[in-house]
Structure 1
């Protein structure tokens, strides 16, 4: 399994390390910022790094030829249709909510703001609409009373993302396909960035 990883920051690095433990071949890492810790970690591991020409969009030439799958990890860029077509199985990403609930950049914050007693994480197929692709894996968790978004992310949602991505990668390797269950649009809610 040959993967192009698109991401940033700590979650991107954690995903890179998890993918390496799962024995896949990470053939390229794509970042929005050359100074990002994911870029330096990939370079130290001898993995090719490409910096996006547009921080909000990943285009086809930025995805490594011969990729079986694109994995996003803490990337706020849209992956173009043409970029997804480069990879045999398309792309997957992790979203820290029970999609279709809380689609958007501030899912964990909205989980806390809405006082949701249950949260969770979803590995989903990358698609034209943000966070709207078919679900490949999903798992829920309880939210502790008084927990902050950061605490919820660090306690359970970030580790859950690594677990679910790993499970979907293992499935893809075994079946040469990805599980896919369409999201139920009637339950979709948006989680736009909150102003500070």
Structure 2
């Protein structure tokens, strides 16, 4: 199982480490910033690093040849459908909400803002529309009273994401396929950024 990992920051590094601990081959890491900690971790591990020419888009040329699966971890770039098509099993990403609820960049913040008593995470297929692809795996957790978005992410949603991504990749390796359950559009909500970027 050869993976091209597209991501950034702490969650990208945690995903890289988790996959390597499970014996999964990371063929290449794609980052939007060559100084990102994920780029540094990949270089230290001797993994090929590609910096996106456009931070908002991952084209097919950024994907390593012979990639079985593209995995995104804390990436805000759109992986083009041409790029997804280059990988034998396509691409998956982790979104910190119970999709189709809270699609967008600020899912955890909107979970807190809306006062949701339950949060969760979803591993979904990369599709043309952001966060709208079929669901591969999903799990939930309770939200503590008074918890901030950052606290919820660090306590529950990041560890949940690592577990779900690891389980889906292991399953894909064993079965040569990834589950796909379409999202129910009638329950879709948007979670746009809440502050200036």
Normalized against structure 1, the TM-score is what? 0.99
Report the equivalent of 1:52: 52
Deviation at residue 22 of structure 1 after TM alignment: 1.3
Once residues 33 and 178 of structure 2 are traced to their aligned partners in structure 1, the CA distance between those partners, rounded to angstroms, is 29
Structure 1 stretches (4+) deviating beyond 3 angstroms? none
Report whether the alignment pairs 1:118 with 2:95: no
Report the equivalent of 1:147: 147
Normalized against structure 2, the TM-score is what? 0.99
Once residues 125 and 9 of structure 1 are traced to their aligned partners in structure 2, the CA distance between those partners, rounded to angstroms, is 21
Deviation at residue 21 of structure 1 after TM alignment: 1.0
Report whether the alignment pairs 1:158 with 2:158: yes
Deviation at residue 109 of structure 1 after TM alignment: 0.1
How many residue pairs end up in the alignment? Answer: 196
Report whether the alignment pairs 1:67 with 2:55: no
Once residues 174 and 43 of structure 2 are traced to their aligned partners in structure 1, the CA distance between those partners, rounded to angstroms, is 29
Once residues 126 and 177 of structure 1 are traced to their aligned partners in structure 2, the CA distance between those partners, rounded to angstroms, is 14
**Residues 51-93 of structure 1 deviation map (CA, whole Å, 9 limit, x = unaligned):** 0010000000000010000000000000001100110000000
Other structure's SS at 2:154 match: helix
Root-mean-square deviation (CA), in Å? Answer: 0.5
Deviation at residue 155 of structure 1 after TM alignment: 0.3
List runs of 5+ in structure 2 lacking aligned partners. Answer: none
Report the equivalent of 2:41: 41
